Chains A and B, each alone.
Chain A
Amino acid sequence: MRNILTIAQKELRSYFVSPMAYVAIGFFVFIYGYFFVVSLNFMVRVSMQAGMMGGPQTININEYMMRPLLGNMAVVMLFLLPALTGRSYAEEKRSGTIELLLSSPLTGPQIILGKYFGALALFTLMLAVTLIHVGVLFIYGEPELGPILSGYLGLWLMGGAFISVGLLISSMTKNQTVAVMGAFGTALMLWIVSWIGDPSSGSTTTEVLAYLSILDHFDDFSKGVIDTKHLAYYLSFITFGLFLTARSVDSERWRG
């Protein structure tokens, strides 16, 4: 455990001594703010229209604002997180520092988990900074806390899944750019994999593909539902990604 923490700290530190962490957090929070304003305007417009048509004066903030906002942020994560994990292994392999880790009395899983938690910590921080906006929402409006928390949990789990994919791809190459593009491509594919099926046909293939899609599982979270089915999906996704990373690192030892 202490070893995992040591590696995680080192990883997190390496994000912060380079502009990487600042760019990632800044970019993420900026986009979040932008979508926040866009969603807010949208909600105000909808609520005014609803008022004019004699409907309820206040519409649900969670449904009309937070849900699309978090959905948009999921897309931003798809772009951002592969860039974050791209260097993780690739850079160490390129510069040879991986030998320091490999020849030290650390086990493979310790190194992998350390790297994973390091990246996850940065991502958690990125999410945490956006809570400022949510705070603003609480000052001026009356959103429900539950769905916001479950939405954030969903985003966090999805980010965790992206990071495990990123780590896996990064462990397969020495080239950071390849790692970033590979992770982005894989994550994007996992995202849109359900589009190929015809939802009206209800065939098994369509259902399986829909189940695989990383985005479909996020939907319930953003509605405020924490379904164990989706929890299980993300957790098993992450575990499987890390397991494959361990295999990939191990096979490197045999080949290189």
Chain B
Amino acid sequence: MIEVQHVTKRYGPVTAVDDVSFRVESGQILGFLGPNGAGKTTTMRILTGCTSATDGQALVAGYDVFEDPVEAKRRTGYLPETPPLYPDMTVREYLTFAARINGIKSAARRERVAAAMARTSVEDMADRHCGKLSKGYRQRVGLAQAILHNPDVLILDEPTAGLDPKQIIETRELIKELAGDHTIILSTHILPEVAQTCEQVVIINKGRVVAVDTPGNLTGRLRGSETIRMAIDPLGTDPAPAIEGLAGVASVTAAASDSDSVVLEVQCDEGADVRRELAATVVSSGWGLLELTPLRMSLEDIFLELTTSENPREDDPEPSGGAEPAEAAPEEQVEAADA
């Protein structure tokens, strides 16, 4: 169980994390979403004790990370953004070292190391130096280090970054598998990943939580209407008016066109499914139907909507001179928080 209450982190005048609160139940996976510099990594570093918070409280597996850091850390596995590998150690040596500092008794060490290597499938690299591993292996050795001591809580900062598609799928499977007996927070900006692996999503922007929900609810909440994209070969005519005339179609915009095809984006009325009518119209007009794709409001869109339509924060300095673009101030802030 992870509980974050009103955690705030300021670096001088810059607020990297602003009054963030959320809760992850035991055995759940929480996805932590946000643009770069939103405060994801800072929040995770606070939870793992790598950095302190200016204000607020955080409980990991029942222990306060500020009051009782050693007990909290004993129950936490952390994979930072860059896997913390010692280049001059072999994978086995590295994991053995990690096991030792995590207080795993020497009798169990070999077995635990082997188990962690097996779970993350890095056994074939066991005797290779960490410095010589490819990005994908580095990431997985980092993950092996995080799960080594079988912690209650796993905090994974972009666990699939730099992996190839097959490894991404494997890693996601592994994370899902781990969920049962571990509570997991993972950060990412790959949105399908959240949809596929997480039970709960926290979207954070400029240090603030802008949404906490399940991926399903989030997509549902913002899916007002559906858009269908279609590519048509209209044989020289303009297909737009005919389609616009159909019942259930709100508007039609031409997205692209070339000599023998026209791409239209058809905005439907809420709840209306006009795919059959669209197809029938095209066919009955004698045109060629090349493509018909429903464009659902994806997590990407939701994400963009939530993280860009936010009002600038009240405590932002007023842009001086008025000529400055409105986005300038928040952007600066994001960059400063990144540093």
Contacts and interface: CB of A to CB of B under 8 A. Distances in A.
B80 A105 contact: no
Interface in B62-82: 70-71, 73-74, 76, 78, 80-82
Interface size class of B (residues with CB under 8 A): 20 to 34
Contact of A99 (B71, B78, B86, B103): B78
A116 to B, nearest CB: 16
B48 interface: yes
Given A3-B103, A99-B50, A254-B51, 17 more contacts: A3-B101, A10-B86, A10-B97, A14-B88, A95-B84, A95-B87, A96-B82, A97-B84, A97-B85, A100-B98, A102-B49, A103-B48, A104-B102, A105-B74, A106-B70, A253-B51, A254-B52
Given A6-B100, A6-B101, A253-B50, A99 B84 contact: yes
Contacts of A6: 97, 100-101
Nearest to B51: A253
B49 A103 contact: yes
A208 B49 CA distance: 41
A104 B49 CA distance: 9
A236 interface: no
Interface in A71-117: 95-107
Which are the 7 A-B pairs with shortest beta-carbon distances?
A100-B84, A103-B48, A103-B78, A105-B74, A97-B84, A105-B73, A104-B101
B70 A105 contact: yes
16 contacts: A10-B97, A95-B82, A95-B87, A96-B82, A99-B48, A99-B78, A100-B84, A100-B98, A100-B145, A103-B48, A104-B101, A105-B70, A105-B73, A105-B74, A105-B103, A254-B52
Interface string A234-256: 00000000000000000001111
Contacts of B51: 253-254, 256
Q: DSSP class of A's interface residues: helix, strand, loop or mixed?
A: helix
A175 B211 CA distance: 39
B84 A105 contact: no
Interface of A: 3, 6-7, 10, 14, 17-18, 95-107, 253-256
B110 to A, nearest CB: 16
Contacts of A103: 48-50, 73, 76, 78, 80
Contacts of B81: 96
B73 A255 contact: no
A22 to B, nearest CB: 14
Given A96-B80, A96-B84, A255-B11, A102 B101 contact: no
Contacts of B98: 100, 104
Contacts of A255: 11
Contact of A101 (B45, B89, B101): B101
A17 B88 CA distance: 7
Contacts of A14: 86, 88
Interface centre among A6, A96, A100, A103 (most CB of B within 10 A): A103
